[in-house]
Amino acid sequence: MHELGVVFYAIDAIEKVAKENNAKKVISATLELGEVSTVVHEYFLDLWNWEVKKHNIMKDCKLEIVTLKAVTFCEDCEKTYSTVEFGRICPYCKSKRTYLLTGKEINIRNIKVV
Amino acid sequence: MDNEVRVIEIKKSVFAANEKEADELRDANKKKGTFLLNLMASPGAGKTTTLTQVINKLKNELKIAVMEADIDSDVDAIKIKEKTGVESIQLHTGGMCHLDAEMTKQGLAGLEGKDIDLVILENVGNLVCPAEFDTGASKNIMILSVPEGHDKPLKYPLMFSICDLVIINKIDVLPYFDFDLKLCEEYVKMRNPNATIIPISAKTGEGVDKVCEWLRNQVKLWKGSK
């Protein structure tokens, strides 16, 4: 739902790094999105394509999205499991005392520039 | 070698810039003795009505200002000004579903030099996006209203996990809804064991004094620990 804000932030951050590194053009950017980051990939891509055109240094920048797996930890049996598959309740011991280890990331991994 | 392709590793959260800005804003507000409260809720939960009640009870002891954030219009800013007399400014988010630290900072600049004790930021009505963006507030609070249902802490875990105070509003209509107050409190605590929960009715005024008490203490703590 807040893909627009995320796109603005991502493009600003990338543009800044590119300029700091005296790049002429950003060819591609790799983003890491956690499985439960609440960012919808299709919306994100649409907004990305709409916004990059307005940034000279980035107008041909291709976006690559890497999905990071969501993993939950169970405090009772101390095992980890797939969040998307099992949700909040531990599939091993049925405990509710669990918390998310990874999966919420919205990171910029790297960019390719000339 | 001018056109050589280079890969630059960044490995940073997209929100890194906003989080840094938010921390700087918090520090600046601390030095000025201004407490910034970020208020969130879904549309229609009773944000503006609750604010009006709370402000009218506190305005004689604290210098208060309100910043209204909406995608468009200034109906809330006008309503607050008419009903409380305190200064209120309207921020437009330019189509975005939330407010970030930069926008908050620009809003606060409009109140510069006025020695405000408490600035209340009424965020965009939404339980998803505002939770992702740190506004630089001293504390975050949210209002959940009875007609929305007691299961909301399960559906919007991030929102409930970042709020220091959860106000449950419209308890005057509890008899007409299948809203389980006890269960709701349990769900909130599941997401956030440290959250304070206060049931109120902004319409009848029930519980509003408790919200004022909480706020009074928070402002005192913020100013005292300079």
DSSP string, B103-170: HHHHHHHTTTTS--SEEEEE--S-SSHHHHS----SEEEEEEEGGG-TTHHHH-HHHHHH-SEEEEE-
- Of all residues in chain B, the one with the smallest CA distance to A36 is B158
Per-residue pLDDT reduced to its tens digit, B63-108: 999 999 888 888 888 889 999 999 999 988 877 788 899 999 999 9
Q: CATH number of the domain that A54 lies in?
A: 3.30.2320.50
Domain-located, residue A80 = no
Q: How many CB pairs under 8 A join A and B?
A: 85
Does B129 touch chain A if contact means CB atoms closer than 8 Å?
Answer: yes
Between residues B76 and B182, which one has the greater pLDDT? B182
Domain-located, residue A86 = no
pLDDT band per the 50, 70, 90 thresholds, residue B225: low
Does A84 touch chain B if contact means CB atoms closer than 8 Å?
Answer: no
Domain-located, residue A14 = yes
- Of all residues in chain A, the one with the smallest CA distance to B99 is A5
Could you give the domains of chain B? 16-224 (3.40.50.300)
Residues in Cβ contact with A28 at an 8 Å cutoff, skipping those fewer than 6 apart: A61, A62, A63, A64, A111, A112
Here the ipTM equals 0.85
Contact state of A110 with B8 under an 8 Å Cβ cutoff: yes
The pLDDT value given to residue B189: 92
What tokens were used for B129?
């996006």
Contact B91, B68 (CB under 8 A): yes
What sign has the CA pseudo-torsion A77, A80, A86, A91? negative
- What residue has token string 């405990």? A95
Domain-located, residue A89 = no
The rounded mean pLDDT for chain A is 93
